[in-house]
Structure 1
Amino acid sequence: MLLSPIPTQAPHSWKHIENISIIESNEPLQTVPYTENLKQLPFYFDQDIPHAINICVARRSVIQKLQQAANLLPDHLGIVVLDAWRSRAVQQAVQDEVGNIIKIKYPHLTSSEQQQLLLQFVAPVSPDFISPHLTGGSVDITLFERATDKWLDMGSDFDEPTERSYTHFYENQPEHPACNNRRLLYSVMTQVGFSNLPTEWWHFDYGNPLWAYYNQQDNAIYGAAHWDINSH
């Protein structure tokens, strides 16, 4: 499979995302299924992040498109979903967690600079802001070897707040395994209609305002979604 380079995209502004109109489709959230080449591993639940649920759920079309993307992969590979829909409470907990990592990792930055860096990797949390994961239209994913369940080398850890996480980071190191692995993930996901967050190789969107921004759509089709753990 000849894979195209990952394009460099301009960063977005969360203020711009906030202003994109939403025409809600009312598509339901569903559990990400387990198939031969698509599975889930609820990362934040496993990491004991407060309020995280023990399954990954997303909008119905998102799951259908994930399966289509997985089917485009070579037969020995699959997609593992680490996170999808995320409540505001979990969003706040993730922001706190990554914020603490940034404070430890970048003590030379001012608090304002640390906050700017945080916003590259975690959407803001406020009562009137609909973060991408809250819509059920965002997925955090990686690739795995079907025979061994081993994750492929993507060149940075999931949620690592460094430039190595920028999707195109390894484009100038084509000999690094992460370069081809990221190109493969980016290729199958964008082919089926997802957009990628340029600062996170693992984060893809469909239907929400972030997707509308990067895919130049007039409006989003997913607003805030709610998963009631008691009714499932």
Structure 2
Amino acid sequence: MILLSDPKVLNIPVQDCGEPLAEIASVPEIELAPRERDEAGAYGRVRTGVLERLRSASEMLPDGVKFLVIEGHRSSAEQAQRFARYEDRLRRSGVLDPADLRRQASAFVSPVEVAPHCAGAALDLTLVNADGVELDMGGAVNGHRSGDEKYCPLDAPGLSDQARRNRDVLARTMGGAGFVNYPTEWWHWSYGDRYWALINGADSAIYGPA
């Protein structure tokens, strides 16, 4: 498994295509979870190409199922704070080696210099029914925050048949639209960032920090 802390990710060059951030709420068939915006007011935005691919993915969903986006773009300042907080949590649990801290933290929070969310290239999302009720995915989005790490990987063992089917729907539709999953987090999908470029063998990323 390649983590975002792997030097191979940072070594991918970026040739930003210059696409602006676009409002996810502008696509009526996609739900956006309510929350307070960060200081940049941009959690509900992604690059225009990412939003178009999300729209395409939504068209592949079964009838009566929609995407619920939890978060898109994230500021570099907020990303750095989240990474530092998770390192502190690991440090309190006994992880003291700096390299090990960085590696373990990156399983759930990207180092800011390669963070797909900061590039407007990533989406944290789940599935809901026509009434907006979240489907059984076998674990919550950001389950690592509540100590539920074992169900966070996309291919986590021990899932119910229903949860496995729902994750398969998510993977089939997002993958079909060109997104890649970060395998430690079933809810995290990205397109155009350094991680995406590495997994797909692309020469460079098309999105850098936005």
Bin for the TM-score computed over the shorter chain:
0.7 to 0.9
| TM-score calculated relative to the size of structure 2 | 0.86
- How many angstroms apart in 1 are the aligned matches of 2:54 and 2:31? 10
8 Å CA contact 1:36, 1:78 repeated in 2? no
1:39 aligns with 2:31: yes
Given the alignment of the two structures, is residue 80 of structure 1 paired with residue 80 of structure 2, yes or no?
Answer: no
State the match for 2:136 in structure 1: 153
Q: CA RMSD in A?
A: 2.3
- 1:37-57: CA deviations, max 9, x gaps? 3121155x37xxx64737510
> SS at 2:106's partner residue?
helix
Q: C-alpha displacement at 1:102, in angstroms?
A: 5.0
2:109 corresponds to 1:117: no
Q: Paired residue for 1:4? A: none
For residues 129 and 204 of structure 2, the distance between their equivalents in structure 1, rounded to whole angstroms, comes to: 37
CA displacement 1:90-131 (0-9 Å, x = unmatched): 112333454466567xx3x43335553221010113xxx242
Identity of aligned residues (%): 29
Please show how residues 27-176 of structure 1 align to structure 2 within 5 Å: 27-43=19-35, 45=36, 51=39, 53=41, 55-99=43-87, 107=93, 109-112=94-97, 115-125=102-112, 129-146=113-130, 148-161=131-144, 162-170=149-157, 173=159, 175-176=160-161
1:100/1:180 CA distance change after superposition, 3 Å: farther
String of CA shifts for 1:45-79, please: whole Å, max 9, x gaps: 37xxx647375100001001101101100110000
TM-score by length of 1: 0.78
Q: 1:230 matched to which residue of 2?
A: none
- Give the total of aligned pairs: 203
1:26 aligns with 2:13: no
Partner SS, residue 46 of structure 2: strand
Q: Is the 8 A contact 1:37 1:77 kept in 2?
A: no
Which sections of structure 2, spanning at least 5 residues, go unmatched? none
Gap change, CA 1:179 and 1:133, over 3 Å in 2: same
> Cα distance 1:54–1:131, how it changes in 2: closer, same or farther (>3 A)?
closer
Change (3 A) 1:180 1:103: farther
Tell me the secondary structure at the aligned position of residue 21 of structure 1. coil
Task: Report the alpha carbon displacement of residue 135 of structure 1 after superposing the two structures with TM.
Answer: 0.6
User: Residues 189, 80 of structure 1: CA spacing in aligned structure 2 closer, same or farther, 3 A cutoff?
Assistant: same
Pair 1:198 & 2:183 matched: yes
**Conservation of the 8 A alpha-carbon contact between 1:30 and 1:57:** yes
